[in-house]
Amino acid sequence: GAMLQGVPDMNRTPGIDMSTGSLGQGLSAGNGMALGARLDHADWRTYVICGDGEIEEGIIWEAAMTSAHFKLDNLTLIIDHNKLQLSGASEEVMNIMPIADKFRDFHWHTITINGHNFDEIRAALKESEETKGMPTAIIAETIKGKGVDFMENKAAWHNKTLDAAETKKALEELEGES
């Protein structure tokens, strides 16, 4: 269906204001949105989602410095730390560990969670909303393709979409997940 896609597309998925991805521009755009909210005295928050491979980009770290400099406490960055990217294991392509320590050093409030646990996700989002004076990075430890045997921990599924037969098989496997 229209919702199945490789990179999330703002033209096909409600709630996405900007399609970014591997070039790392999302956090810079998020900074602009968070600063705009501050200038407008608006109470909305900006959420940026990126992958662990994406934070290998230098623009992410320039943006992270900017977020902290302007104390963007209305900005939350969620990092999908599944340890795989298009060309293989993130640590082998460009080791970005330890992620939490790096963001702390950049003056971010940092939370590490199990990215498959909805209680931990909700608690981290609440904590980020309550954190004042600095942006928040949530490092969501995840497993790429979790719950689907032919996808789990396979880098090849980084930006592929499922065909009809694969979709049927994946949904059958996921029906047992809670």
Is-contact 132 75, C-beta < 8 A?
A: no
Domain holding 99, by residue range, is 26-144+156-174
Per-chain mean pLDDT for the chain = 86
CATH code at position 68: 3.40.50.970
Residue 81 lies in a domain: yes
Taking the C-alpha atoms of residue 151 and residue 111, their distance in angstroms, rounded to an integer, is 27
How far apart are the two ends of the chain, measured CA to CA in Å? 23
Phi first, then psi, for residue 14 (nearest 5°) are -60, 145
pLDDT digits (tens, 9 = 90+) for 122-151: 999 999 999 999 999 999 999 887 888 887
Please tell me the predicted confidence (pLDDT) of residue 123: 98
Domain count within the chain: 1
pTM over 0.85: no
pLDDT digits (tens, 9 = 90+) for 70-109: 999 999 999 988 876 666 667 766 778 798 999 999 999 9
Residue 11 lies in a domain: no
| Angle CA 61–67–69, to nearest 5 | 100
Measure the CA dihedral 143/147/150/151, to 10°. -30
Taking the C-alpha atoms of residue 142 and residue 22, their distance in angstroms, rounded to an integer, is 18
Please tell me the predicted confidence (pLDDT) of residue 178: 45
Residue 140 lies in a domain: yes
Residue 13 lies in a domain: no
Residue 21 lies in a domain: no
| 174 vs 75: which has the higher pLDDT | 75
DSSP, res 87:
T
Residue 39 lies in a domain: yes
Per DSSP, which regions of 64-116 are E strands? Answer: 75-81, 84-85, 88-89, 109-114
